[in-house]
Amino acid sequence: MKNKLLILGTFISLSLGSCTGDFENINTSDSNFSNAQLEQDFNHVKGPIKKMERSMYILVADDWQGDIQFNLSADIFSGYMATQHDFAGNSNNSTYALTDGWNQAEWVQKYQNEMVYAYNLEKLTKDKYPQFYAWSLILKVYAMHKTTDYYGPIVYSGFGNPDGSTPYDSQQAVYNQFFAELKTATDILNAKVASGTTTFFPDANDKTDGTTAKGSIVKWIKFANSLRLRLAMRISNIDPAKAKTEGEAALTGYGVISSNDDNMLYLADHPVATFSGPWADIAAGGAITSIMNGYNDPRRAMFFKTAKNGTFQGIRMGSLVNDEYRFSKADQFSIIGPIVENGMIPWFCAAESHFLKSEGALKGWNVGGTAQSFYESGITTSFAQLSTSGVAAYLSDDVSMPANFSDPLNAANNIAAQNLVTVKWSDAVSNEVKLQKIITQKWIAGFPDGQEAWADTRRTGYPKLFLPVNNYSAGKIPVGTFVKRLNFPVNEKTSNPMGYAKGLQLLGGPDTGGTKLWWDTGINKF
């Protein structure tokens, strides 16, 4: 790991500051084909589109970078997963000793890849092939909403400035640009469909689009609208009026992904299967096994493999693990199971749309149904997605509660259940309890996308997770609180000092994991 971090440090030195001067020549073909030849069959845009899609999640071919970008940060913070590896003597993200070499991976990956490809595609397509420009905007927003939700202010509107400057935007400004770009993209694509164009490429067998959309323009419109609805809900506590406007707009026209047939999945082996299996770096989290065990949730068998004793056993975040957890007694814990072994990486699934509508109804939005109806259809859709039976009994369960957590190797990690709500809907409870139910089920259905789950737990406070057993942040993340963000990359302080200083000002607090993001108000508005 030390060698890996040294390599990453070298890579970071080539990051934002050094990649803004010559975008058009980055990733261009080293063949001898002319531009005119490359434009035949749109070959000049196929490469960057494929690279943008592939770079959303670093695949196993790129090995360890995806591990530190997702699993050892958001996937842990969300309560989904935990590490059984004692990295740096247990002084790592799991114990809130935020590790610079890990926390920079998201930034480096997105600026070296997504933003560069998006910049090039804009130059190539905006005026001549607007449908491909629209496609690139959707991909850019999908990539970068995860980045801003890691750090807060980021470089966005000024990326690629001719003068070489890389200024930061406030998170509010970034979100406003996201909404504008998604609207631009859907306006362009709606016009294309209205003109009779249904696919991005004339060849129905074209494999440029590596997702389950397979080049269908309508499916990409639904994906863009779904992102718009997700982002609208994200800002619903800080800007309720704009959230309502954007959320309701996302439901017009072709609307959002509401059927599992339209789930947006990237067709590739999920790297978590390797990180959790052969590498033994990541296992089931104590929070999610506590909640799902208490509910006797049938979906567990799709998420996790059983431990040696036949149970679903997680590890609590912040536990002081040792070689027993990873090697000699590793079989006492569950690793990530079939859901990451099916050759697909979820980007956005229909169940999330139902839960977003449920929350929207709770907030008084016009979503075409009630909070209860969409809550129950969200659970039903999740069960159907996983081909899991027993949904009727699950929906009617008004008794089962999350289970207390016990660690088979160390009783010091044991803790009582925290998220004390049942599954069955009730109109008699408060809006806060209704929201807790909605987000708990949305959180379960969203597994294994820890980035989205972490954002929801910060935004709403639900589900109620376990605090880390040990907090080694030296007060930067106050004891009794949860991590709120990742630190800006350390390289930004030296390679982009003016941008970093502005970013820190826009953040409105110290550059630590304890500073809240713009949309994280701590108060749910209805």
pLDDT tens across 293-350, in order? 999 999 999 999 999 999 999 999 999 999 999 999 999 999 999 999 999 999 999 9
The single residue listed with the structure tokens 């859709």 is 381
For residue 515, tell me if it sits in a domain: no
Neighbours of 326 (CB within 10 A): 18
Domain count, the chain: 1
For residue 526, tell me if it sits in a domain: no
Q: Is pLDDT at 30 greater than 60 in this prediction? A: no
Provide the whole-model pTM: 0.93
What's the pLDDT at 205? Answer: 87
Confidence of residue 481 (pLDDT cuts 50, 70, 90): very high
Find the CATH number of the domain harbouring 13. 1.25.40.390
Rg (CA), the chain: 22
* Domain span holding position 140: 2-18+42-486
> What does the DSSP 8-state code read for residue 90?
G
Q: Is pLDDT at 22 greater than 60 in this prediction? A: no
Confidence of residue 25 (pLDDT cuts 50, 70, 90): very low
Q: Is pLDDT at 20 greater than 60 in this prediction? A: no
Is the link from the previous residue into 448 a cis peptide, with omega within 30 of 0? yes
For residue 24, tell me if it sits in a domain: no
Confidence of residue 510 (pLDDT cuts 50, 70, 90): very high
The single residue listed with the structure tokens 């530190």 is 68
How large is the average pLDDT for residues 66-84? 95
Q: How far apart are alpha carbons 363 and 463 in whole angstroms?
A: 18
For residue 497, tell me if it sits in a domain: no
Q: Is pLDDT at 91 greater than 60 in this prediction? A: yes
Angle between the N-to-C axes of helices 371-385 and 431-445, in degrees from 0 to 180, rounded to the nearest 10 = 20
Q: Is pLDDT at 38 greater than 70 in this prediction? A: no
CA distance readout (Å), 183 to 56, 153, 159, 250, 392: 21, 22, 20, 9, 38
Q: Is pLDDT at 60 greater than 70 in this prediction? A: no
For residue 519, tell me if it sits in a domain: no
What's the pLDDT at 27? Answer: 45
For residue 33, tell me if it sits in a domain: no
For residue 278, tell me if it sits in a domain: yes
Q: How far apart are alpha carbons 80 and 462 in whole angstroms?
A: 13
Q: Is pLDDT at 42 greater than 90 in this prediction? A: no
Q: Is pLDDT at 512 greater than 90 in this prediction? A: yes
What's the pLDDT at 36? Answer: 55
The token pair at 26 is: 């980055």
Percent of the chain residues past pLDDT 90, beyond the cut: 89
